[in-house]
Amino acid sequence: MNKILPSRIITLFSLLAITACGGSGYSKRAIEAEGPFSARARNELAVNNPEGLLRVGEGFERSGNLQGALNIYGQAMAADPTLLEAQVAFARVSIAAGEVERGISMLTTLIAANPENDLVRSELTKTYIRQGEFQAASLFIGPVLDKETTTVENLILGGQIAEVAEERERARKLFERALNKTPENPFVLQNMALSFALAEDYSTAVALLQRVMDKPSGLITGKIALATVYALSGQLDAAMLLARGAMELEKANERRVFYQLLPRLNSREKAMAVMFNQVPKDSVARLTGAATN
């Protein structure tokens, strides 16, 4: 396997990660409750079932209590230093909480020690996507996609990144592999539909999204995706009508500028916007006339 980073950079990241974790002050024994979760309950899980702490931490993370999640994941790491999932979770929440350098350095250290681990590669991929660094994201996810056992989530990520790289044929193949693993998966169908819309095959995109919206669980997300398709085709009023029927009015109205800009972006920018909801600031400035000398 080709090295992704020079060894001296990996060494530097390793030192940063060790500093970040070692100096965090987490131990396997808690002295304070975390929300409704008592210190005693935390400590019992730490001793008997560190993986159980992860499930608790996930609950805090889903609720938006990032500090609580960090505290739980940190205790799980201290209770079982070999629990890779806890380290990945700690890094992920660190990034979400604004500690981007710490999170990336931890994940980089983990990938150096566990180069074949899909979980670490997937998390690093998502981190670089959030940073808008799609080439780095592609490097990390690439080896995972070659495996027959790779997850549907990773195949979707790979397909989305391929769209941004304007590798549409590769993107479609990855989405098709994901669909073969989970037929009628609404998220896969949605991404495949958006791929066709980016290629200006709007009729196929609409047909795929109709399959999504035929299921009650896919109605709202399908409408939002369909609004994007209409915006891509230049039908702003139809896009806004769909958006207002799928989300709160204020949120729908906030999408108006996005929908207006969408058909005016270049192909790569459209893929970034549609697949990852990212529009580069310089693109916005260029199209709105806000750029300054």
Average pLDDT of 241-246?
96
What's the pLDDT score for residue 25? 59
Which residues neighbour 160 within 8 Å (Cβ) at sequence distance 6 or greater? 171, 191, 275, 276
| Lowest mean pLDDT, pick from 98-102, 159-163, 258-262, 284-288 | 284-288
Q: Give the least confident one: 8-17, 97-106, 205-214.
A: 8-17
pLDDT(293) > 80: no
Q: What is the CATH number of domain 119-183?
A: 1.25.40.10
d(CA 192, CA 182): 13
Residue with the larger pLDDT of the pair 3 and 135 = 135
Confidence of residue 30 (pLDDT cuts 50, 70, 90): confident
Does residue 146 have a pLDDT over 80?
yes
Query: Which contacts (CB < 8 Å, 24+ apart) does range 133-141 have?
Result: 134/161, 134/164, 134/165, 134/272, 137/161, 138/162, 138/165, 139/4, 140/4, 140/111
Helices (H), 1-117: 7-22, 39-48, 50-63, 66-79, 84-96, 100-113
Residue 70 pLDDT exceeds 90: yes
Residues carrying CATH 1.25.40.10, the chain: 119-183
CATH code of domain 185-293: 1.25.40
Q: What pLDDT was estimated at residue 264?
A: 95
| pTM (two decimals) | 0.82
Who contacts 134 (Cβ-Cβ below 8 Å, separation ≥6)? 128, 161, 164, 165, 272
pLDDT at 18: 41
- CATH number, span 1-115: 1.25.40
What's the pLDDT at 6?
39
Give the residue-averaged pLDDT of 267-281.
Answer: 92
Average pLDDT over residues 1-13: 39
